[in-house]
Amino acid sequence: LAKTTQPISMDSYEGQEVNITCSHNNIATNDYITWYQQFPSQGPRFIIQGYKTKVTNEVASLFIPADRKSSTLSLPRVSLSDTAVYYCLVDGRGNTPLVFGKGTRLSVIA
């Protein structure tokens, strides 16, 4: 299973753009990159998924370079409510269960 590496923690001020980078050097051709968000005492929540280039939704943008060995989750203008743990996963889309790492703990400061 492809493993991901992401920073343990990040701090940001409200209103700033936050970029969390994840490396996945051994990603397979059929794998996607998926990001989840988890608030304290809740289960993780799917936020975005992509295969290559750029994907954007109402929550975040996901940038994936051509070699697909890394990806960057971009959160525009964060607020205090974006304080959470963010997980980057290599996703075979149901072929195998998701393997969660320890994620990146994002703290947004007023």
Partner 1 sequence: DVKVTQSSRYLVKRTGEKVFLECVQDMDHENMFWYRQDPGLGLRLIYFSYDVKMKEKGDIPEGYSVSREKKERFSLILESASTNQTSMYLCASLGQVPYNYGYTFGSGTRLTVV
Tokens matching residue 107: 């703290």
Which lies closer to partner 1 via its Cβ, residue 70 or residue 104? 104
Assess 94 for contact with partner 1 (CB under 8 A): yes
Residue (67 or 102) nearer to partner 1, CB: 102
Decide: 77 and 17 in contact? Cβ < 8 Å. yes
Determine, following the binding rule CB under 8 A, whether residue 13 of this chain makes contact with partner 1. no
The interface with partner 1 within residues 24-53 (CB under 8 A) comprises 34, 36, 41-46, 49
Q: Is 58 in the site for partner 1 (CB under 8 A)?
A: no
In the complex, the residues that contact partner 1 under the rule CB under 8 A are 34, 36, 41-46, 49, 87, 91, 93-94, 97-103
